[in-house]
């Protein structure tokens, strides 16, 4: 699988996880609720985890076997850091868009 395709699919899954975690964090009572901050923190934790996991999974699980074809392996490994960065940026971009679409809801706390 192309590292870019794999990174985008992975990013989509991580966005979904971030959204589920945000939804599961309850609205708190009192005059100084902390729940929006917790949702924001979880969004950024998952954003960084997304980048790290894309790179690690790409390296150890998805990279083609160099013994089969060294050139394909080299191309994959060359593209993987760029795909990781793209995945990280796309995560933030989708997060930003979702945050603006659902600005009155829990996802709105991401930005």
Partner 1 sequence: MSQNKLFVIAIGGTGMRCLESFVHLCAIGMFDNQEIEIFTLDTDSKNGNMGRVWNLIDLYNRVKTEPGNKKGGNPNADTFFSAKLNLYKFFTDYESESRITYRNISKLSDGNDDIKRQNQLLSDLFLEKESVQEFHLDHGYRAQTHLGSHLMYHSIVEAARRLLNNEAVGESEKNLEEFLAKLQKSGESARVFVFGSVFGGTGASSIPIIPVAFQDAIWIRSGEKEKLDLSEVKFGSTLLTEYFGFKKPDLLQMSVKKDSVIADSSFFPINSQAALQFYQGDPTVQSVYKRMYHVGWPLESKPLGESKLNQVDTGGSSQKNSCHIVELLCACAAFDFFTSKDSLSNEKAEYLFRSIEYDNGSFNFTGNDFVGDENKAGDIFMNKLGAFLSLAHISLSRNKAAWGDKGIKGFLVQLSQNKIQKYNAISDDETVEIDNYLKMFAYDFDGNKNFVPGWIYQIRKSAAPGKFVFSNDAFKENRAELEKIDVGALFLDQMHHWDKGTVGFRSGARYDKFVSILTNHGFPKEAQKVNTTKEQFLAHIYNGITISQNFNL
Residues that bind partner 1 (CB under 8 A): 23-24, 26-27, 29-33, 36, 103-106, 108-109
Q: Shortest distance, CB of residue 105 to partner 1, whole angstroms?
A: 6
> Cβ closer to partner 1: 32 or 65?
32
> Cβ closer to partner 1: 16 or 52?
16
Q: Shortest distance, CB of residue 69 to partner 1, whole angstroms?
A: 46
**8 A C-beta contact, residue 21 and residue 106:** no
> Cβ closer to partner 1: 21 or 79?
21
The rounded distance, in Å, linking the Cα atoms of 56 and 3 is 12
Q: Helix H segments across 25-69?
A: 35-57
Q: Tokens standing for 92?
A: 């933030």
- Residue 12, judged by CB atoms within 10 A of its CB (0-12, 13-18, 19+), counts as middle
If you search the block for the tokens 């960065």, which residue do you land on?
A: 85
> Cβ closer to partner 1: 37 or 66?
37
Q: Shortest distance, CB of residue 50 to partner 1, whole angstroms?
A: 22
């Amino acid at each position: 699988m192309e590292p870019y395709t794999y990174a985008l699919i992975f990013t989509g899954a991580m966005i979904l996880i971030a959204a589920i975690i945000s939804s599961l964090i309850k609205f708190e009572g009192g005059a100084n609720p902390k729940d929006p901050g917790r949702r924001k923190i979880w969004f950024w934790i998952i954003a960084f985890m997304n980048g790290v996991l894309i790179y690690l999974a790409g390296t150890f699980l998805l990279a083609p076997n160099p013994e089969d074809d060294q050139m394909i392996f080299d191309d994959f490994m060359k593209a993987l850091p760029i795909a990781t960065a793209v995945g990280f940026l796309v995560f933030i971009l989708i997060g930003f868009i979702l945050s603006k679409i659902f600005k009155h809801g829990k996802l709105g706390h991401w930005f």
